[in-house]
Amino acid sequence: MPGATNFKDCAVLESVVKKQAADGRLYAAVCASPAVALGSWGLLKGLKATCYPSFMEQLSSCATAVESIVQQDGKVVTSRGPGTTMEFSVALVEQLYDKEKADEVSGPLLLRPNHGDEYKVIELNPMEWKCNNIPQILVPIADGSEEMEAVMIIDILRRAEANVVVASVGDNLEILASRKVKLVADMLLDEAAKLSYDLIVLPGGLGGAQAFANSDKLVNMLKKQAESNKPYGAICASPALVLEPHGLLKGRKATAFPAMCNKLSDQSFIDNRVVVDGNLITSRGPGTSMEFALGIVEKFFGRPKALELAKVMLFVH
């Protein structure tokens, strides 16, 4: 919200979706949108649907409301919120292609086997992650960064009310992520480097990780962070392609994207979804991004705060 209301009030969108439904073609919505948009347009009459919990009463006036993670009825697919979006997206792939294609797409995403269970973070050598009141966090992005990882890290840390600076490792504020989604940074890395951070955390994506590894400025910032015993982290390709080659995993336990784990010198903890070792946090891929970001929230704000956010996003029951 208010995105779903803006959808509802957009006459062009309403006519497009109504034509889609009239033509017997697939249409779908997640979070508030099933109730606020599809329901208001009369496109859920007599159909089973789900939505974000606080909109279920509104949904029940225009559909048969159910509490499924993903609900399909005829040509409409609905889902509940941020924490169910991956399952929702994979369900759409299955509808558009087939189960085989959905499995092919979902495998490398590393989705959780048991949605709704409390997430686990493996922690070794526990230490307090300190900050002055509000954590200052740097999230670099570059052409080829994995957009799901970048956006989930930024989104969840901002939900926790950390101050997140998104910096472009390149010449432009706008980057083209790995699946051709355009992301716009707050500033260029040159500007961001003038500030100090309680945490520097790298999203993955092959092209983005390579750009990070080739940025002397970013690598030097990471080395200074490590030398100062301040937190730093990476997910997916970045532990293997950025941290490992620059000696930032030396003597540490870490994980990475499965296909990249052979590049890690210590592979004893690679099967864990999130690994914290002192001031280092690493994780595996898009499907572990929420756990990764929640693990960071937990280190700065405590587990109750992280679980509270996880429940609001419908990531845990």
Residues 217-262: pLDDT tens digits?
999 999 999 999 999 999 999 999 999 999 999 999 999 999 999 9
pLDDT at 299: 98
Query: Does pLDDT of 113 surpass 90?
Result: no
Given a contact cutoff of 8 angstroms between Cβ atoms, the answer to whether 181 and 146 are in contact is no
Instruction: Band the pLDDT of 115: cuts 50, 70, 90.
Output: confident
Alpha helices in the chain (DSSP H): 3-8, 11-22, 33, 56-60, 85-96, 99-109, 147-159, 189-192, 206-213, 216-227, 238, 289-301, 303-312
Whether 62 is catalytic? no
Give the chain's end-to-end CA distance (angstroms, integer).
22
Q: What is the pLDDT of residues 260-293, one digit of tens each?
A: 999 999 999 999 999 999 999 999 999 999 999 9
- Are the CB atoms for 151 and 205 separated by under 8 Å? no
Nearest to 213, CA basis, from 184, 234, 185? 234
Q: Judging by DSSP bridges, how do beta strands 76-79 and 163-168 pair with one another?
A: unpaired
Confidence (pLDDT) at 95: 97
Catalytic site residue from 31, 51, 62, 236 = 236
Q: pLDDT (tens digit, 9 = 90+) per residue, 144-190?
A: 999 999 999 999 999 999 999 999 999 999 999 999 999 999 999 99
**43 CA to centre of own chain:** 30
Percent of the chain whose predicted confidence (pLDDT) is above 90 = 97
* pLDDT at residue 54 is higher than 90: yes
Query: For residue 76, is pLDDT > 90?
Result: yes
Say whether 173 sits in a helix, a strand or coil.
coil
pLDDT value, residue 131: 94
Residue corresponding to tokens 């990476």:
234
Domains, the chain: 2-107 (3.40.50.880), 122-313 (3.40.50.880)
Whether 312 contacts 172, CB under 8 Å:
no
Residue 313 has pLDDT above 90, yes or no: yes
